[in-house]
């Protein structure tokens, strides 16, 4: 079977290997569609944390079951399944407390172990989520949307509060939509006006702010001087992460969703005066995946406009570099098998 491997930063190779063999407790899947995410882009550029090469990328998987043993989910050969790409130990303190998303021994497909950029893959059955009622396009975006849903759940949003979402990429857009569904008044911020207008036109976000020196003043005007009680960073950019607190109201919370590969600095008096709650949001749980699936079934997310670039497996290597250029307007790119 064919697979694509990232040999080192900036270099993909199309190769062939044997099909996976059946292993007890695992299912063999045929990959049908895969989403390209920021993790893949960062790995290709060589600035992804927790990463080693060579690596088969890809963890946003829409797949079909080729071979599977009897299982308590009653998943059968031919079923469509989404893969939860987070392999947890089930034994650590986080797992015991239901936080498998931040297991102490966590391995993520496509990051710590080889992912889905291959025609077939063998994965533990307990990572599979039945998805016969979704299209492959919907299935391929469940994982990134679940990350946004998890962040919104962490923040415990209440109706009519103002929140700011910094970064209008796929994760940020997911945060906006689920915060909106939860009843929040959402302010989107980005340096890319095209993405901001997508948020306004397709996600129905009422307030968009082009990031710059006057951002805080604009947010103050929108919120009648009170600022936002919730601020989410979905950029992972060090400068943006350190500035996000400026948009937060006293008594608010700051949710770090994007990952920066380095140190962050905050002035203690500034965060102390606001009695700031700083929390991180990592990955997602089964509950988040199930919630997103329900939202997609109800047609509450604009899947067609969200997927802006779609190519075949054979064409991916030739297109990947272009997806790194903001001028090309990529929101979500997907690959078909």
Whether residue 136 is found in the same domain as residue 157: no
Q: Using CA atoms, how far apart are residues 34 and 58, in angstroms rounded to an integer? A: 7
Whether residue 161 is found in the same domain as residue 79: no
Per-residue model confidence (pLDDT) at position 78: 98
| Those residues with Cβ within 8 angstroms of residue 268's Cβ, 6 or more apart along the chain or in another chain | none
The answer to whether 13 touches 4, Cβ cutoff 8 Å, is yes
Q: Is 99 helix (H, G, I), strand (E, B) or coil?
A: coil
Whether residue 73 is found in the same domain as residue 188: no
Integer-rounded Cα Rg, in Å, for the chain is 20
Range of the domain at 324: 2-140+302-336
DSSP 21: P
Bridge partners of 64, per DSSP, are 30, 80
On the question of pLDDT at 49 being above 70, the answer is no
Residue 153 lies in a domain: yes
Considering the chain, what percentage of its residues have pLDDT values greater than 70? 99
Per-residue model confidence (pLDDT) at position 20: 96
Residue 46 lies in a domain: yes
Whether residue 118 is found in the same domain as residue 156: no
For 100-127, what is each residue's pLDDT tens digit?
Answer: 999 999 999 999 999 999 999 999 999 9
Burial of 310 (0-12, 13-18, 19+ CB in 10 A): middle
DSSP 35: E
On the question of pLDDT at 214 being above 90, the answer is yes
Whether residue 47 is found in the same domain as residue 109: yes
Per-residue model confidence (pLDDT) at position 203: 97
On the question of pLDDT at 198 being above 90, the answer is yes
Whether residue 179 is found in the same domain as residue 257: yes
| Those residues with Cβ within 8 angstroms of residue 116's Cβ, 6 or more apart along the chain or in another chain | 31, 34, 56, 58, 59, 60, 61, 63, 83, 109, 110
Q: Is 103 helix (H, G, I), strand (E, B) or coil?
A: coil
Q: Is 305 helix (H, G, I), strand (E, B) or coil?
A: helix
How many distinct structural domains can be found in the chain?
2
Whether residue 15 is found in the same domain as residue 118: yes
- What CATH number is associated with residue 256? 3.40.50.720
Residue 287 lies in a domain: no
The answer to whether 85 touches 31, Cβ cutoff 8 Å, is no
Residue 87 lies in a domain: yes
Burial of 286 (0-12, 13-18, 19+ CB in 10 A): middle
pLDDT category at 1 given cuts 50, 70, 90 is: very high
Whether residue 63 is found in the same domain as residue 155: no
For 288-336, what is each residue's pLDDT tens digit?
Answer: 999 999 999 999 999 999 999 999 999 999 999 999 898 899 999 999 9
Residue 7 lies in a domain: yes
**Secondary element (H or E) of residue 124:** strand 120-124
Q: Using CA atoms, how far apart are residues 334 and 36, in angstroms rounded to an integer? A: 6
pTM for the model? 0.96
Whether residue 26 is found in the same domain as residue 103: yes
For 218-244, what is each residue's pLDDT tens digit?
Answer: 999 999 999 999 999 999 999 999 999
Residue 180 lies in a domain: yes
Q: Is 146 helix (H, G, I), strand (E, B) or coil?
A: helix
pLDDT category at 3 given cuts 50, 70, 90 is: very high
Per-residue model confidence (pLDDT) at position 51: 80
Whether residue 45 is found in the same domain as residue 83: yes
Region for 156 from its dihedrals, namely left if φ exceeds 0, alpha if ψ lies in -120 to 50, beta otherwise: left
Residue 74 lies in a domain: yes
On the question of pLDDT at 138 being above 70, the answer is yes
Per-residue model confidence (pLDDT) at position 46: 86
pLDDT category at 38 given cuts 50, 70, 90 is: confident
Residue 17 lies in a domain: yes
For residue 228, report the phi and psi dihedrals to the nearest 5 degrees: -95, 135
- What CATH number is associated with residue 99? 3.90.180.10
Burial of 24 (0-12, 13-18, 19+ CB in 10 A): exposed
On the question of pLDDT at 48 being above 80, the answer is no
Where is the domain boundary, 232, 248, 280? 280
Whether residue 173 is found in the same domain as residue 211: yes
Considering the chain, what percentage of its residues have pLDDT values greater than 90? 93
For 250-288, what is each residue's pLDDT tens digit?
Answer: 999 999 999 888 899 999 999 999 999 999 999 999 999
Whether residue 46 is found in the same domain as residue 113: yes
On the question of pLDDT at 69 being above 90, the answer is yes
Q: Using CA atoms, how far apart are residues 147 and 149, in angstroms rounded to an integer? A: 5
Query: What is the average pLDDT score of the chain?
Result: 96
pLDDT average, residue stretch 182-198: 97
């Amino acid at each position: 079977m064919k697979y694509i491997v990232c040999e080192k930063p900036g270099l993909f190779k199309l190769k062939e290997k044997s099909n996976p063999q059946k292993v007890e407790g695992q299912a063999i899947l045929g990959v049908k569609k895969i989403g390209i995410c920021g993790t893949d882009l960062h790995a290709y550029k060589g600035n992804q944390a927790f990463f080693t090469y060579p690596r088969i990328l890809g963890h946003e998987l829409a797949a079909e079951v080729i071979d599977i043993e009897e299982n308590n989910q009653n998943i059968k050969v031919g079923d469509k399944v989404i893969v939860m790409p987070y392999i947890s130990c089930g034994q650590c303190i986080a797992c015991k407390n239901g936080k498998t998303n931040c297991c102490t021994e966590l391995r993520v497909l496509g990051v710590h172990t080889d992912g889905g950029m291959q025609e077939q893959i063998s994965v533990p059955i307990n990572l599979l989520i039945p998805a016969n009622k979704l299209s492959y396009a919907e299935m391929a975006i469940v994982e990134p949307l679940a990350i946004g849903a998890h962040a919104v759940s962490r923040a415990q949003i209440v109706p009519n509060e103002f929140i700011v979402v910094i970064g209008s990429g796929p994760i940020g857009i997911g945060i906006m939509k689920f915060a909106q569904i939860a009843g929040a008044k959402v302010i989107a911020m980005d340096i890319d006006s095209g993405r901001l207008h997508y948020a306004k036109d397709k996600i129905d976000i009422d307030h968009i702010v082009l990031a710059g020196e006057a951002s805080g003043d604009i947010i103050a005007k929108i919120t009648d001087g009170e600022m936002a009680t919730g601020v989410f960073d979905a950029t992972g950019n060090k400068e943006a992460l350190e500035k996000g607190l400026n948009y937060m109201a006293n008594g608010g919370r700051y949710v770090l969703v994007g990952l920066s590969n380095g140190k962050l600095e905050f002035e203690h008096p500034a965060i102390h005066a606001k009695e700031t709650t700083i929390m991180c949001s990592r990955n997602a749980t089964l509950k988040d995946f199930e919630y997103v699936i329900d939202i997609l079934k109800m047609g509450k997310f604009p899947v067609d406009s969200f997927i802006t670039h779609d190519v075949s497996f054979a064409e991916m290597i030739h297109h990947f570099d272009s997806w790194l250029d903001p001028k090309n307007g990529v929101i979500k790119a997907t690959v078909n098998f």
